[in-house]
Chains A and B, each alone.
Chain A
Amino acid sequence: MVLRYFAVCLDLLAEEDAAFNSPDCRGAVQSVANLTKTQIDRLGERLKVNSQSEADLQLLEEYRRSFGEAYDDVVRITRNLNLDPSGRRAKSTSAIVEKLQRESIRLSQMQDIAGCRIVVANLGEQDQVVASLQKAFAKAAITDRRDHPSSGYRAVHMVVEAASRAVEIQVRTLLQHLWAELSERSADLLDPAIKYGGGPAEWQSMLEESSILIVNCEKLEKVTMEDYLVAFDEFSVIGAEFERKMVVAWERLFSVFAFQGKEALRVKLMQRQRDSHEQQKKEILDRLTAASIAENASLRQILTRTAERLNEMISAIADLERRTK
Chain B
Amino acid sequence: MIFLVEYNRSQARTIRMLEFPDSSKREAEDARLKLELELNASGTKHDVVLLEAKSKEALRRTHRRYFGSFEPVHKFLRDLEGRSAGH
Contact = CB atoms under 8 A, between A and B. Distances in A.
Given A16-B69, A18-B17, 16 more contacts: A12-B72, A16-B60, A16-B67, A29-B30, A52-B40, A65-B29, A87-B52, A94-B47, A117-B62, A177-B62, A184-B65, A185-B12, A192-B9, A314-B77, A315-B74, A324-B11
Contacts of A18: 14, 17, 67-68
Interface residues of A, number: 59
A93 interface: yes
A268 interface: no
A188 B14 CA distance: 12
A88 interface: yes
A311 interface: yes
Interface string B22-64: 0001010111111111101100010111111110011111111
Interface of A is mostly: helix
Interface string A173-192: 00001000110110011001
Interface in A32-75: 52, 54, 57-58, 61, 64-65, 68, 71, 75
Interface stretch (A19-27, A283-291, A292-300): A19-27
For the complex of A and B, the 3 pairs showing the least CB-CB separation, nearest first, are A27-B34, A318-B74, A86-B53
A88 B31 contact: no
Contacts of B85: none
Interface residues of B, number: 52
Nearest to B11: A324
Contacts of A201: none
Contact of A26 (B12, B31, B47, B65): B31
A27 B9 CA distance: 25
A27 B31 contact: yes
A35 B34 CA distance: 21
Nearest to B61: A14
A13 B53 contact: no
6 contacts: A8-B76, A54-B40, A314-B73, A314-B74, A318-B69, A324-B11
A240 to B, nearest CB: 38
A95 interface: yes
A6 to B, nearest CB: 9
A33 B25 CA distance: 17
B10 to A, nearest CB: 8
A207 to B, nearest CB: 15
Contacts of B64: 10, 13-14, 181
